[in-house]
């Protein structure tokens, strides 16, 4: 999937990180966010970009966010660490895209917490408050560092290649044919069977059985909730860069 954002944004100035194409923020709010993001970058050594749009150009909100980040040269260091927060007015979605070490810091559970805590503001149209909340919670998680036992789990389906599908199909057909011929042979070669004289050789005995209920015993035990997952689901963006992330609706 080719990237086209460079022609739209013309590689925005290095200091600019607020791209309110949907016109959701006032001038004062934009300036306040730019300052807050500059402080975020200084404190965390991670990038943060905000984007809003009314048109994702036929892409999903996830694809749009990933490609916007990759196509405009955002990120800190060789692994382009950072995150992008997108408000997609076309589909009424908001999305967090992570890159580099930010993938490990904002695992799935942490992203879900950020999304959940921002949903009320998003639903009520308090977009500035939602962005500030995402920024503040993300900074807090960066200060905590990656969760214990953090790991990445790819959800791409690229491992299911054409050859793999063909092999699986052949195996399935062979198994079905084998079962068919087994049944067919059994019916075709079915010989006369011996008939047991059930009536002549059987007898019936009736006995009485009685059960008396004395009392009930009930036991209880506490089943603890499983600990939250520390994994980060990843996927490949259009440029071939690995991303994490999560979305919410409003």
**C-alpha dist (Å) from residue 177 to 88, 165, 186, 237:** 51, 18, 14, 42
Residue 238 lies in a domain: yes
Within this chain, do residues 164 and 142 fall inside the same structural domain, yes or no? Answer: no
Residue 144 lies in a domain: yes
User: Facing residues of 154 across strands?
Assistant: 234
8 A C-beta contact, residue 44 and residue 143: yes
Task: Give the pLDDT score at 70.
Answer: 98
Within this chain, do residues 52 and 175 fall inside the same structural domain, yes or no? Answer: no
- Look at the chain and report how many structural domains it folds into: 2
Backbone angles phi, psi at 63, to 5 degrees: -60, -40
b/e sequence 113-147, b meaning 16+ C-beta within 10 Å: ebbeebeebbeeeebbebbbbbbebbbebbeeebb
User: Facing residues of 234 across strands?
Assistant: 154
8 A C-beta contact, residue 130 and residue 137: no
H or E element that contains 88 = strand 82-88
Per-residue pLDDT of the chain (250 residues), as tens digits, is: 444 544 444 444 558 999 999 999 999 999 999 999 999 999 999 999 999 999 999 999 999 999 999 999 999 999 999 999 999 999 999 999 999 999 999 999 999 999 999 999 999 999 999 999 999 999 999 999 999 998 999 986 544 444 445 655 666 676 666 666 666 666 565 555 566 666 666 676 666 667 666 666 565 555 555 555 679 999 999 989 999 999 999 9
Task: Give the pLDDT score at 230.
Answer: 72
Residue 60 lies in a domain: yes
Within this chain, do residues 99 and 181 fall inside the same structural domain, yes or no? Answer: no
Within this chain, do residues 14 and 132 fall inside the same structural domain, yes or no? Answer: yes
Tokens of 28: 């004062």
| Cα–Cα distance, 126 to 105 (Å, whole number) | 26
Residue 123 lies in a domain: yes
Residue 72 lies in a domain: yes
Task: Give the pLDDT score at 15.
Answer: 81
Residue 216 lies in a domain: no
Domain range enclosing 97:
5-155+233-249
Within this chain, do residues 121 and 165 fall inside the same structural domain, yes or no? Answer: no
Within this chain, do residues 107 and 18 fall inside the same structural domain, yes or no? Answer: yes
Specify the pTM. Answer: 0.69
Within this chain, do residues 115 and 32 fall inside the same structural domain, yes or no? Answer: yes
Within this chain, do residues 25 and 126 fall inside the same structural domain, yes or no? Answer: yes
DSSP state, residue 81: B
Residue 40 lies in a domain: yes
Within this chain, do residues 181 and 111 fall inside the same structural domain, yes or no? Answer: no
Residue 224 lies in a domain: no
Question: What CATH number is attached to the domain comprising 43?
Answer: 3.10.310.50
């Amino acid at each position: 999937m080719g990237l086209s954002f460079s022609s739209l944004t013309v590689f925005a100035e290095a200091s600019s990180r607020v791209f309110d194409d949907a016109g959701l923020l006032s001038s004062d709010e934009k300036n306040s966010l730019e300052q807050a993001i500059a402080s975020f970058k200084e404190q965390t050594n991670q990038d943060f970009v905000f984007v809003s749009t009314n048109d994702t150009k036929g892409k999903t909100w996830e694809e749009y966010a990933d490609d916007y980040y990759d196509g405009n040269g955002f990120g800190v260091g060789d692994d382009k660490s950072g995150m992008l927060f997108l408000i997609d007015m076309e589909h009424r979605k908001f999305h967090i895209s992570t890159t580099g070490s930010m993938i490990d810091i904002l695992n799935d559970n942490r992203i879900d917490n950020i999304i959940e805590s921002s949903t009320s503001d998003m639903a009520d149209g308090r977009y500035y408050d939602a962005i500030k909340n995402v920024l503040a919670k993300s900074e807090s998680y960066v200060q905590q560092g990656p969760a214990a036992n953090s790991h990445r789990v790819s959800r791409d389906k690229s491992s299911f290649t054409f050859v793999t599908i063909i092999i699986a199909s052949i195996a399935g057909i062979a198994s079905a044919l084998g079962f068919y011929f087994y049944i067919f042979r059994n019916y075709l070669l079915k010989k006369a069977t011996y008939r047991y004289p059930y009536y002549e050789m059987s007898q019936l005995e009736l006995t009485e059985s009685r059960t008396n209920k004395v009392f009930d015993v009930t036991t209880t035990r506490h089943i603890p909730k499983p600990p939250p997952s520390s994994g980060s689901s990843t996927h490949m963006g259009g440029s071939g860069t690995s991303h994490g992330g999560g979305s919410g609706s409003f």
